[in-house]
Amino acid sequence: MTNQFKASLTVSVAAAALSAATAHAEPSQELIDAAKAEGMLTTIALPHSWCAYGDVIAGFKAKYGIEVNELNPNAGSADELEAIKANKGNTGPQAPDVIDVGLSFGPAAKDEGLIQPYKVSTWDSIPDDAKDPDGYWYGDYYGVLGFAVNSDIFPEAPKSFADLKDAQFANSVALQGDPRTGNSVMMAVYAAGTAEGGTAGADALNKGIAFFKGLKENGNLVPVNGSAQNIAQGTTPIYFDWDYNLLAMRDQLAGNPPVEVIVPEDAVIAGVYVQAISAYAPHPNAAKLWMEYLYSDEGQLGWLKGYCHPIRFNDMTARGVIPQEMLDNLPPAENYAKAIFPSLAEQSEAKQAVADNWGKEMGVQ
């Protein structure tokens, strides 16, 4: 998304007042009854540590008494679309009802006829730049790319992408996976390219590939996926992910080892994820009720508890419904002052560039 989107996140008090009625709207009893009759919701790619999804899922189950069938919590955005395609005629437990994917995957899923439209009760308080006008997909939360550092190994943490080139970080830097299949990994490469002077789109992505190729050649890049376990063991003492995942991981480790989360000084790239309902959802009413829950104040606060900035954050701030202690747990606002929101077109270019060039430049299949 462009900086135009960034501006649109600033909701005026007047606009918030207009949206207040919908912000408190409840789903109809008819929808609740229909969802309960279906009895199940099937999700995919929702790790419990991601945006506090574990608590969000528990909250939905407790409120409506609907079973949640969780598929492949570690899947990437591309995997989610493939799961819909593979289960078009399947009404069993392997067919996802809903998806949570990187921004560029929303329009792609719409173009391929994989998702169906639905506008939640709080629709008007979702910024226009963060949703499909027809309701096929809609932004849910956003964060910025950062990296976590095992402070036992590196008491003086690197502060930028440029710092990571230093020989002291040999065999230390890791990505979380393959950037061709995971949006967060692709955006980490994009951020590195921005730090290297890439302007946008394919240029930023290709410069990011060159950055990681350089880390590989000088021995700083570890050929192992970054994870909480690997950072704790020292296998990947530095690894990239969205800030909200890293902050949750830091809390989970509880100082064993101590972890510092860095927003790089030389590139602050923000990313929005989006929700959508499968066009082939076996439980379409449960899927709609899930969306109503996620976009209610309760659901949005659930994500914020997990350090994700919910898409209705400014609307809720203007209405004074976010507890102060929750705001106090977030990183300082100035860390995000330089955030850039790549547009859909720029992300589409980047997606094509990583598909074309990552394998051959990095020497991987």
Block residue for tokens 């909250």:
59
pLDDT of residue 258 exceeding 90 = yes
Q: What is the model's pLDDT at position 333? A: 66
pTM: 0.77
Buried b (16+ CB within 10 A) or exposed e, 290-322: bbbbbbbbebbbbbbbbbbbbbbbbbbebbebb
Q: Which of 93-107, 152-166, 301-315, 332-346 has the lowest mean pLDDT?
A: 332-346
Query: 13-140+273-331 sits in which CATH class?
Result: alpha beta
Q: What is the pLDDT of residues 22-48, one digit of tens each?
A: 445 689 999 999 999 999 999 999 999
Domain positions in the chain: 13-140+273-331, 143-270+339-362
- Where do runs of H (alpha helix) occur along the chain? 3-8, 13-23, 29-38, 53-64, 77-86, 105-111, 183-195, 201-217, 228-233, 243-253, 284-294, 297-305, 313-318, 324-328, 344-362
Task: Compute how many other C-beta atoms are within 10 angstroms of the C-beta atom of residue 348.
Answer: 17
Q: What is the pLDDT of residues 37-86, one digit of tens each?
A: 999 999 999 999 899 999 999 999 999 999 999 999 999 999 999 999 99
Q: What is the model's pLDDT at position 249? A: 93
Are 13-140+273-331 and 143-270+339-362 equal in CATH topology? yes
3-class state of residue 238 by DSSP? strand
Q: Where would I find the beta strands (DSSP E) of 131-170?
A: 138-150
CATH code at 143-270+339-362: 3.40.190.10
229 backbone dihedrals φ, ψ, rounded to 5°? -65, -45
pLDDT of residue 13 exceeding 90 = no
Q: What is the model's pLDDT at position 160? A: 96
Q: What is the pLDDT of residues 87-104, one digit of tens each?
A: 998 999 999 999 999 888
